[in-house]
Amino acid sequence: AQRVTQPEKLLSVFKGAPVELKCNYSYSGSPELFWYVQYSRQRLQLLLRHISRESIKGFTADLNKGETSFHLKKPFAQEEDSAMYYCALSGGGSYIPTFGRGTSLIVHP
């Protein structure tokens, strides 16, 4: 079975502070990991995927297979980063992502 755990329901930081949203997963094979973001009153959208190894809006995420983690990081948070962030996993030939419960990020001015 595959599972995604986001231990923090809420993460509150000040503008300019570093941000790390934690994601741990459970999966026996080689998963694909993703981060999705949902801004207030907007649709859920893909932020980044581990296979792309890209930085989107200053966010990066590295897959750590040893620790089964895929934490999302940004060195300097901005107020516009305030949103709900979901970590997701797909694997085993299934391309339906399994989502974590999400972390609400609030960036204070």
Partner 1 sequence: DSGVTQTPKHLITATGQRVTLRCSPRSGDLSVYWYQQSLDQGLQFLIQYYNGEERAKGNILERFSAQQFPDLHSELNLSSLELGDSALYFCASSVGQRGTEAFFGQGTRLTVV
Site residues for partner 1, 28-87, by CB under 8 A, read 32, 34, 41-46, 49, 86
**Residue 30 or residue 66: which is nearer to partner 1 going by CB?**
30
CB of 34 to partner 1, least distance (A): 6
Site residues for partner 1, 77-96, by CB under 8 A, read 86, 88, 90, 94-96
The CA distance from 50 to 91, in Å, is 13
Burial of 50 (0-12, 13-18, 19+ CB in 10 A): middle
Residues contacting partner 1: total by CB under 8 A: 21
Residue 80 phi, psi (nearest 5): -70, -5
Count of CB atoms situated within 10 Å of the CB of 2 = 16
CB of 20 to partner 1, least distance (A): 20
**H-only helix segments in 6-105:** none
Residues that bind partner 1 (CB under 8 A): 32, 34, 41-46, 49, 86, 88, 90, 94-102
